[in-house]
Structure 1
Amino acid sequence: MPDPLGDLLWLTPTEALAVVLATTGMYLAMMLLVRVIGQRMLGAMSNYDLVAIIAFGAILGRAALGDVAVLGGGLVAMLTLVALQSVAGALIVRPLGARAITTRPIVLMADGRVLEDQLRRAHVAGTELASQLRLAGVHRHDDVAVALLEPTGAISVLRRGTPVDAELLEDVIGAHLVPEHLLGQHG
């Protein structure tokens, strides 16, 4: 005799394995997508970014669960995502893992100049940069020594007045665009 409550709660071992594999595949696909598109995807969200994130979540959830839309399937998918995040967290503290998982910061402004090529590379609109400069309390472009798109998607602003430690720009895409007169020595 079929058990309707059991059918809503549990899944077979084969269904559980399918959920684990689909969830892992979608997680890796999203990691690759973020890696290819860049950290802009993770930054401050505009309205269209929020819509895209909601759609990505719906697609990921549907693909991960497939036909197994039961409590057990949801729990297996959630535990799989937690396990994958734990593995990613363990890998990111190692140099090779960090390079594989995270993106590098990108210089967007140097010496008060907006670097249009770098904005395009980072998929950042000039209006978005201007908004972040205002939020940082910048009154003029000339106040900015360096502005960077960080791996988190946030834009950081280093102001003029104090030399920028060259060590802070190691492994930054476009660091060579920062003029020497803005850099200090690192110790």
Structure 2
Amino acid sequence: MTVWSHNLGISPLEALWVILSATGIYAAFFVLIRTAGQRALASWSTMDKAIVIAFGSVLGRVVLGYTPTLAAGVIGLATMFALFRLEAVLRRTRRGAYFSSKPILLMAGEQVLQAGLRSAKIVEDELYFKLRQAGIRNFSEVALVVLEPTGDVSVLRRGELIDPLLLRRIPNRDSIPAHLVLPG
């Protein structure tokens, strides 16, 4: 037994496997979230939370291997944090658009945008829940409803005109009624 594995409980080769496993799981998670869409990050039901806990358990075992040690845990965690930071740096580059989702317009004024709901993988009942959560009592109170890149749903009320700068990344912003947006 080497000094490394005797003192740390992990050999250099095992440490490399932890790094490769963590990188592989991170990449798979990234691809699956991109495939599932922003909706996968939106508010979760109790069942969704239970599934996430189960995923965490499975992912932990995959990353750490059969005999997890403190050293393997630290290496796996450090690898995940390093990948997270790398992704953040890449988001700021010219090609960073691939790493971040665009907002999706779900409602423009009183009109529910079916194409937006389909794209966001949201059903009307979920939209209505978000409207009620925002204190909306009538569709006439709505200026915009947007699924944000974070998975959150933003509900903007009528009253104040919307600054066009706030709409710049929304792909179909031309469907927003002009009387709701500041001229500019």
TM-score, length-normalised on structure 1? 0.87
Other structure's SS at 2:106 match: strand
Shift of 1:139: 1.2
Percentage of matched positions with identical amino acids: 39
Change (3 A) 1:46 1:174: farther
Large movers: runs of 4+ above 4 Å: none
User: 2:48 maps to which residue?
Assistant: 49
Shift of 1:95: 4.1
- Aligned mates of 1:123, 1:173 — CA distance in 2: 17
Other structure's SS at 1:138 match: coil
User: 1:70 maps to which residue?
Assistant: 69
- Aligned mates of 1:95, 1:121 — CA distance in 2: 24
The worse-fitting range, judged by mean Cα deviation, of 23-32 and 55-64 is 55-64
Unaligned stretches of 5+ in structure 2? none
- Deviation string 1:73-99 (CA, Å, 9 cap, x unpaired) is 1111011111111212222233422x1
Shift of 1:33: 1.4
Other structure's SS at 1:118 match: helix
- Deviation string 1:148-187 (CA, Å, 9 cap, x unpaired) is 000111100111122222222222133232122322224x
User: 1:25 maps to which residue?
Assistant: 24
Unaligned stretches of 5+ in structure 1? none
Contact 1:146 1:159 in 2 (8 A): yes
Q: How does 1:1-187 map to 2 (within 5 A)?
A: 6=6, 9-97=8-96, 99-186=97-184
- Aligned mates of 2:131, 2:94 — CA distance in 1: 31
The worse-fitting range, judged by mean Cα deviation, of 12-21 and 135-144 is 135-144
Contact 1:39 1:153 in 2 (8 A): yes
Shift of 1:41: 1.0
Number of residue pairs matched by the alignment: 183
TM-score, length-normalised on structure 2? 0.88
Contact 1:24 1:84 in 2 (8 A): yes
Contact 1:11 1:68 in 2 (8 A): no
- Aligned mates of 2:57, 2:178 — CA distance in 1: 48
The worse-fitting range, judged by mean Cα deviation, of 147-156 and 130-139 is 130-139
